[in-house]
C-alpha cells in the first residue's frame, strides 16, 4: 500500500460522489494497493478491508481520529480522539482460509463475507436479508453425512456461523469504548470506517479546490501544477497572498 497524492485523492473524491460506501472503499484501496487486482481487493473480508482503510487514512490525514458523539444517556456532546496504531494493535491481516463449524449435527465450511458479496446483494430489488449474505459464504453444508443448503439450517446453527464470522473478522463491526464525563455512562459506539474516511475526504477536497482556485486566479497556474505541490508549499503561497 502506498500513500495517495493530492491529485489522486481529488480524482477519487470526484469519482466516488454518486457511489455507495462499498464502492468508495474499493476505489480508495484500488488506488493505494496497485500490486493487487481489483478482484482480490473486493474479496477481502470486510474487516480486513477496513483495517487497510484505517492504515491508508493514517497515511493520508494522520494517525489520530477525532470525532464527536452524543451521550445516549444524557445527550451531552462528547469529543474524543483515537490513535489508529492503538486501534489496530490486535488487527490480523493474514489471509483467512475457509473455516469449519460443527453444531447440532451439522458440519459447515464457510468463508468470511467481502465487498463483492455486499455489492452483488445490493443489486437485488430489496435490501438483502442476513441469511442471503450467509448463504453466499457457506461453501458446504452437511447433516448426518447428507449435503443440504442454507435454507435447511436451523436458526441456532445459522446464528452460530454468524457469530464465528464476527469473531474471525472483528473489525467488520468496529465499536469504540466511550464514557461520558458528564454522567459517567459507558457504552460501545459503532464506528463506520468508510463513512468517517469519506467525510474527511469530502471536507479536504472542498478546501483543496478553494486553494487551487485562489492560487490559479492569483498566479495563473494550472490545476495539475498546484496539486503537484506539497501541502507545505501551497500553504506558503497562500500565506503570501494573505500578506
Those residues with Cβ within 8 angstroms of residue 26's Cβ, 6 or more apart along the chain or in another chain? 38, 41, 42, 115
Number of H helices, E strands in the chain: 11, 8
Residue 147 and residue 141 in contact, taking contact as beta carbons nearer than 8 Å: yes
More confident residue, 144 or 46: 46
The yes-or-no verdict on residue 127 having pLDDT over 60 is no
**What is residue 122's predicted lDDT score, i.e. its pLDDT?**
83
| Mean pLDDT computed over 71-84 | 95
pLDDT in tens, 169-183: 999 999 999 999 999
Return the SS3 of 104. Answer: coil
C-alpha cell at 149: 443448503
Residue 145 predicted with pLDDT over 90:
no
31 vs 213: CA distance, rounded Å = 25
Question: How much of the chain, in percent, has pLDDT values that exceed 70?
Answer: 98
pLDDT at 160 over 90: yes
- Spatial strand order of the sheet with 138-143 comes to 99-103, 106-110, 138-143, 146-147
Residues forming a β-bridge with 103: 106
For 26-41, write each residue's pLDDT tens digit.
999 999 999 999 999 9
Give the chain's radius of gyration (CA, Å). 22
- Selected residue with higher pLDDT from 144 and 22: 22
Alpha-carbon distance of 209 to 140, in angstroms, equals 51
* Structural element, H or E, at residue 48: helix 46-61
The pairs formed by 94-102 with CB atoms below 8 angstroms and a separation of 24 or more are: 96/45, 96/48, 96/168, 96/169, 98/139, 99/164, 99/168, 101/160, 101/161, 101/164
Amino acid at each position: 500500500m502506498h500513500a495517495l497524492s493530492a491529485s489522486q485523492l481529488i480524482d477519487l473524491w470526484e469519482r466516488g460522489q454518486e457511489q455507495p460506501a462499498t464502492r468508495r472503499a474499493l476505489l480508495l484501496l484500488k488506488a493505494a494497493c496497485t500490486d493487487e487486482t481489483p478482484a482480490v481487493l473486493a474479496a477481502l473480508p470486510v474487516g480486513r478491508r477496513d483495517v487497510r482503510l484505517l492504515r491508508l487514512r493514517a497515511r493520508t490525514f494522520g494517525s489520530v481520529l477525532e470525532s464527536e458523539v452524543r451521550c445516549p444517556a444524557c445527550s451531552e456532546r462528547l469529543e474524543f480522539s483515537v490513535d489508529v496504531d492503538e486501534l489496530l494493535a490486535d488487527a490480523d491481516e493474514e489471509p483467512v482460509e475457509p473455516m469449519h463449524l460443527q453444531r447440532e449435527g451439522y458440519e459447515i465450511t464457510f468463508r468470511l463475507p467481502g465487498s463483492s458479496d455486499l455489492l452483488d446483494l445490493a443489486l437485488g430489488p430489496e435490501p438483502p436479508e442476513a441469511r442471503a449474505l450467509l448463504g453466499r459464504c457457506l461453501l458446504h453444508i452437511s447433516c448426518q453425512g447428507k449435503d443440504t443448503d442454507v435454507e435447511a439450517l436451523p436458526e441456532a446453527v445459522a446464528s452460530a456461523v454468524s457469530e464465528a464470522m464476527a469473531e474471525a473478522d472483528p473489525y467488520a463491526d468496529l465499536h469504540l469504548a466511550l464514557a461520558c464525563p458528564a454522567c459517567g455512562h459507558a457504552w460501545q459506539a459503532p464506528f463506520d470506517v468508510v463513512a468517517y474516511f469519506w467525510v474527511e475526504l469530502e471536507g479536504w477536497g472542498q478546501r483543496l479546490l478553494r486553494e487551487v482556485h485562489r492560487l490559479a486566479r492569483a498566479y495563473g497556474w494550472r490545476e495539475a501544477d498546484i496539486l503537484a505541490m506539497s501541502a507545505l508549499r501551497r500553504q506558503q503561497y497562500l500565506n503570501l497572498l494573505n500578506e
